[in-house]
Amino acid sequence: MIVQTLDRPRTAVAAVLAMAALLAAGALIAPRVSAAPPDAVRFATFNASLNRGSAGALASELAAPGSAQPAAVAEIIQRTRPDVLLINEFDYDPAAAERFRDNYLEVSQGGAAPIEYPYLFIAPSNTGIYSGFDLDNSGAAGDFVPNDSFGFGFFPGQFGMLVLSKYPIDADAARTFQVFLWKDMPGALLPDDPAIPGPADWYSAEELDVFRLSSKSHWDVPIDVGGTTVHFLVSHPTPPVFDGPEDRNGTRNFDEIRFWADYVTPGRNGYIYDDEGVVGGLKPGSKFVIAGDQNSDPLDGDSIPGSIQQLLDNPRINTTVTPSSAGGTEWAIVQNELNDSHAGDPAFDTADFCDFAAPPPCRGPGNLRADYVLPGRSLKITDAGVFWPAPGDDLVYLTGTGFPVPSSDHRLVWVDVKVPGSARR
């Protein structure tokens, strides 16, 4: 296992020069979404679709500024200005991570101010790691490697994760849970093959001896916020679709979400072990923020009922403020094929999956709430939002009016919190 933290103190020279050039040219620097106030810290998650079709392709694309989709993603980040950010669907490649930071985030996009993240955390993902078994029960192991890998991917690390932070990351205390076995979760919701008598028999005993819970990974990344540690608990559970009546992805999605619910709950996390063999979950009294594309809407979509409620209803998690946007509401009206039938409030939606009735490639379950930033109860929420410009907004070019999407089919979600005991309270 490789865990790389790029803890490189940065000067502000590049940002100052970029700002000076913009001002000299008369450019308008309008963030539109203000940064967190001085007494709060902004945590965010963004499934940015920075995944590519082959290993090394993302790093090659990011080797120089100017690629349109990464530039749109970077501009969204510059305009929302998170202090601590999880990016989902960022291929595992430390070189790509550095290049995105250097060539895109630290370069003004669309007149927005550059943004610096001195600290970066990236680690391997289960995606594209071939298991050696016929996990999709197609009749032949390896006939379609993505389905027979520990997580869906065409190469190791595709659809991975990246954490960027303005605050120091305690790399020595970071924990990863890439190899935690699904069967080792008490009461695991293991999938059942309806064609075979008996429960939970989709995977053989030999397969369960190697099958990992995380479709990408689960990370506990400690962030030093003014002398106070906040555990950034990040993951990206598998979509609860693309399977069959056995619901192997739906059940896995449920238990990937459950992992964090157990991890932050004393008395329920004794079974957990990390990739170094350390046993146990978060210590009582620890401050934390759970973040990621959970691929689960509370009321709509295809996840098993109650999946995301394992977090939303957890008494240790602060859900007093729900991130929202005016754009979510307005786009649900414009794209009304399925959205009119949804039970959830469209203001809370974070992803635009289009409609089943739309022509290819714009087919999906409609707009859903899939992405979450969930602080612990000890962190007071002061503000929250979803970056989703309404149809008439002058920043709508960043999220688009249909497909293809200029940035991502997901929206950046942010929450501002006060951290007790830190210099930013």
Rounded Cα–Cα distance for residues 348 and 384 (Å): 11
Q: Which long-range contacts (CB under 8 A, 24 or more apart) does 11-16 make?
A: 12/116, 14/106, 14/114, 15/106, 15/113, 15/114, 15/116
| Residue-level pLDDT at 421 | 81
User: Of the CATH numbers 3.40.630.30, 1.10.490.10, 3.40.1370.10, 3.60.10.10, which one belongs to the domain with range 4-418?
Assistant: 3.60.10.10
| Dihedral (Cα; 329, 332, 338, 344), 10-degree rounding | -10
| Residue-level pLDDT at 328 | 94
| Residue-level pLDDT at 239 | 96
Q: Name the residue type at position 317.
A: I
| Residue-level pLDDT at 20 | 34
pTM summary value: 0.93
- Three-state SS for 10-65 is CCCHHHHHHHHHHHHCCCCCCCCCCCCCCCCEEEEEEEEEECCCCCCHHHHHCCCC
DSSP annotation string for 290-315 = EEEE----SSSSSSPTTTTHHHHT-T
Rounded Cα–Cα distance for residues 402 and 19 (Å): 32
DSSP annotation string for 76-125 = HHHHH--SEEEEEEE-S-HHHHHHHIIIIITS-STTPPP----EEEE---
| Residue-level pLDDT at 19 | 36
Residue 288's SS3 state is: strand
**Residues 351 and 302: beta-carbon distance below 8 Å:** no
DSSP 8-state symbol, 147: G
Q: Residue 239: in which H helix or E strand, if any?
A: none
Choose among 270, 280, 170, 150: nearest CA to 216.
150
Q: Residue 5: in which H helix or E strand, if any?
A: strand 4-7
DSSP 8-state symbol, 212: B
How do beta strands 4-7 and 41-50 pair?
Answer: unpaired
pLDDT by position in tens, the chain (length 425): 444 455 554 433 333 333 333 333 333 334 456 788 888 999 999 999 999 999 999 999 999 999 999 999 999 999 999 999 999 999 999 999 999 999 999 999 999 999 999 999 999 999 999 999 999 999 999 999 999 999 999 999 999 999 999 999 999 999 999 999 999 999 999 999 999 999 999 999 999 999 999 999 999 999 999 999 999 999 999 999 999 999 999 999 999 999 999 999 999 999 999 999 999 999 999 999 999 999 999 999 999 999 999 999 999 999 999 999 999 999 888 877 778 889 999 999 999 986 555 566 556 688 999 999 999 999 999 999 999 999 999 999 999 987 788 999 999 999 999 998 876 54
Choose among 414, 397, 335: nearest CA to 368.
335
